[in-house]
Chain A
Amino acid sequence: MDKQVGKFTSEQIVTHVIIGISIMFLFITGLPQRYPENLGWIISTIGLSKVMFIHRLAAIGMLSSAVFYVINSMLCWIFVGNKYFKKYMLPIFPTPGDISDFVSDVSVLGEQKTDYYKYSWLEKLSLWNDMVVNWAIIGITGIVLWAPWLFAPYIPAGYLSIAKSFHSGFAVFSLCVVLLHFYIVHLTPSKFPMSDSMFTGTLSKEEVKEEYPRWYRELSGEKQ
């Protein structure tokens, strides 16, 4: 077993970086619009038109990362085959084991560290939050709000209010997931000030053994 264990592909690293930068600007420019009484000073400092421009620019980054991830995953699956799917796509799908990992993590009295595989339930939550909430719900409602003239013939004008509620409401939910992800990955005492695996795509052998015991056992060939 190598000293460094590969966890993320280059494509995943690039997508993550673009999403990270985009989502930061989306929150900075989006939250003041939902809470103008508390964060309105951001809009008055930068200017509404510039805030909207930055918000839409960041949205392009977020949605193009979604397009890239989907196209790349599909093409890899088609041209590389099931080996790619089993190795890089299958592990991100939720399994019944994630529920027991979740229960183990939230039970404060538990003495044992959770026996994670390659991705913990929290990493899966972050990923699926990004795909379902950020890309699908917020992305689609964002497009409706961005270009209402495209949808005006098909939906009543009042539905823009509903789209706005979905858009801003789920954005707040997404912020909480991102904050949780940020805390666990970067701010826990063993990781502080940051985990560099999001840039290198690798973890040390010791880190894998400590944090992903089940994955380590599989890689090293140890008996379960």
Chain B
Amino acid sequence: MSTEEVVIGDSLRFLFSGGIKLGLETDKIAMVSLALTIVVTLGALLFLSVTFDPERDAVVDPSEALGIFDIVLVYLVELCVTIGVILLTFLMIFMHAKSVKHERVL
């Protein structure tokens, strides 16, 4: 911990200050990563524009016939999501109860 230089005010290069300054090497890596990210993103967008085919730009047609496997798959996804949402809701209630309890204890 003591070897980390915690800087508030001059660390961030892009938007605002903050965070752990890891050193010159990682600063350079961050700039290279940013440059590569811009290249990859612009390249992907350019590729989409160049290959755009209006005849194949199909919209999702709900009447499209699906096989039984596909229908089961769609229902399974919906079921998993529903169960996940219910569990996460209960989790939020539990965490709230715990949080309130410890605030009172403190």
Interface of A with B (CB < 8 Å)?
1-2, 4-14, 17, 60, 63-64, 67-68, 71-72, 75-76, 79-80, 84, 105-106, 108, 110-111, 113, 122, 145-150, 152, 157-162, 164-166, 169-170, 172-173, 176-177, 179-180, 183-184, 188-190, 199-202, 219
Contacts and interface: CB of A to CB of B under 8 A. Distances in A.
B84 A173 contact: yes
Nearest to A113: B102
Nearest to B20: A6
A64 B19 CA distance: 21
Interface in B15-62: 15-16, 18-22, 25-26, 29-30, 32-34, 36-38, 40-41, 45, 48, 51-53, 55-58, 60-62
B84 A176 contact: yes
Contact of A180 (B34, B62, B91): B91
Given A14-B15, A149-B53, A200-B8, A189 B74 contact: no
B88 A108 contact: no
A184 B78 CA distance: 26
Contact of A148 (B21, B57, B88): B57
Contact of A6 (B6, B14, B15, B51): B6
Contacts of B65: 158
Contacts of B60: 145, 160-161, 164
Contact of B96 (A17, A67, A183): A183
Contacts of B13: 10
Interface of B: 1-2, 4, 6, 8, 11-16, 18-22, 25-26, 29-30, 32-34, 36-38, 40-41, 45, 48, 51-53, 55-58, 60-62, 64-66, 70, 73-74, 77-78, 80-81, 84-85, 88-89, 91-92, 94-103, 105
A200 B103 contact: no
Contacts, number: 190
A63 B43 CA distance: 13
Contacts of A162: 66, 70, 73-74
Nearest to B14: A14
14 contacts: A12-B19, A64-B37, A67-B36, A68-B37, A75-B32, A80-B26, A105-B95, A105-B98, A108-B94, A148-B56, A160-B60, A161-B61, A199-B18, A202-B19
Contacts of A147: 48, 51-52
Contacts of A176: 84-85, 88-89
A60 B48 CA distance: 12
Determine chain A's interface SS by DSSP, over half rule: helix
Contact of A184 (B95, B97, B103): B95
A169 B77 CA distance: 7
A141 to B, nearest CB: 10
Contacts of A14: 12, 14-15
B96 to A, nearest CB: 7
Given A13-B12, A176-B85, A202-B8, A72 B33 contact: yes
A76 B88 CA distance: 34
